Amino acid sequence: MDRIQIRGGAQLNGVIPISGAKNAALPLMIASLLTDQTLTLENLPRLADVNQLARILGNHGVDYSIDGKRAREEAATGQTAHLRARTIVDTTAPYELVSRMRASFWVIAPLLARVGEARVSLPGGCAIGTRPVDLLLMALEKLGATIEIDAGYAVARAPKGLIGGEIDFPKVTVGGTHIALMAASLAHGATRIVNAAREPEVVDVADCLNKMGARIRGAGTPIIEVVGVPRLNGANHRVLPDRIEAGTYATAVAMTGGDVLLEGVGEDLLETAFDTLEQAGATVTSDNRGVRVRRNGAGIQAVDVETAPFPGFPTDLQAQFMALMTRARGTSRITETIFENRFMHVQELARLGARIRLDGETAIVEGVDRLRGAQVMATDLRASVSLVIAGLAAEGETTVNRVYHLDRGFERLEEKLSACGADISRIVG
């Protein structure tokens, strides 16, 4: 099993190209089930999750091809993928596939909208909490679907098609908003989605669906209106930059010191997170090339953070920011409000010398003068990259085990960091 080995102490200086957003790429790929024509996605990141979802979609009848497979591709060059579901060949998404990737549950919406039925395994629990699908199923029921749970599967039917209606989410849900958008696009009549997620990835999916012929207004606001159409067409769409990847590398620069341009990303995608990094002592500026992050000389200041739906501080940057706060002057409080059980990285950061105690949904982090390298174990995607950030600043050598988690969400992480001066490498096997 691969490991990441880091010798800490080097500043980061240079340019890091930001890849396409995983959190947009996955629902965009799933949207290909809504049409029998070709959906072309540019700037698709090279990730294990993207490859896995392509295999899952193939089970339903999606033909998938990639342009420009070359032996020496540059890290900055995203893939261009072509997806076409001429015919839906199977409306069942079995447990052995859904259990490998929770987002694959979302196929229930386009399958139901296009052919009137779907049988999709419930995804079950995961390393960062149960993340139930109740709200996702509620959204489909509001559009006229009948749903029953049978032997661990959600069996959804709408033999005469879905019907527009009002979906009022009791709490913000990104997955629920994605499902509602896809289902409502082919429903009969108009749909109103209230308390919709405002994340940039939701806007990106809505933009793509509109290119395919959908009629969606209000994406990026709490209320989205959709007028259903009889069919959707193919389209060409470029996946937006990955704001979580950008925020991760920005946090790494704040941790190590240095000066790095995050190429291809806009400051507007992460305004709250960048503001927080500035409070911690980094300098963040932007121009037409991207966002530049610097920290030269000044120490790291303790900052309190509470995760929240967009435009608040992203839960997907909570672990990375906690790693930064382990070296801050003073004590910080980090409160997680989105997912339960998302502090599994705490015990591994403690192996590096961090001082963190938990009080319910809040982690109290007492900054230390130094971290020391150690063997650590990745528990999930964001936890694993927080250990890399800590290792970049730790004295001596840090080895991060079980890095298959990293490959799910970060494209060529060690290559991008080493190009900016980090002493980091992958040990294969």
Active site residues: 126
* 135 known member of a binding site: yes
Q: Is 44 annotated as a binding residue?
A: no
Q: Is 50 labelled as part of a ligand binding site?
A: no
Q: What is the three-class DSSP state of 339?
A: coil
Q: Say if residue 358 carries a ligand binding annotation.
A: no
Check the annotation: does 107 bind a ligand: no
d(CA 364, CA 369): 16
User: Kind and range of the H or E element at 406?
Assistant: helix 404-409
List alpha helices for 307-403, DSSP H. Answer: 318-325, 346-351, 381-393
**CA nearest neighbour of 403 among 418, 419, 417, 388:** 388
Q: Is 408 annotated as a binding residue?
A: no
- Is 63 within any annotated ligand binding site? no
DSSP string across 205-235: HHHHHHHTT-EEE-TTSSEEEEE--S----E
210 is in an annotated binding site: no
Q: Is 102 a known ligand-binding residue?
A: yes
Alpha-carbon distance 274 to 267, whole Å? 8
The answer to whether 131 is annotated as binding is yes
Q: Find how far residue 192's CA is from the centre of its chain.
A: 25
Torsional class of 277: left (φ above 0), alpha (ψ -120 to 50), beta (otherwise)? alpha
- Upper half-sphere CA count for residue 229 (Cβ side, 13 Å): 18
DSSP state of 159: T
Number of C-beta neighbours around residue 340 at 10 A: 12
Q: Is 343 exposed, middle or buried (0-12, 13-18, 19+ CB in 10 A)?
A: buried
- Give the span between the Cα atoms of 208 and 288, in whole angstroms: 24
Binding-site residues for UDP-N-acetyl-alpha-D-glucosamine sit at 102, 131-135, 316, 338
Binding-site residues for phosphoenolpyruvate sit at 22-23
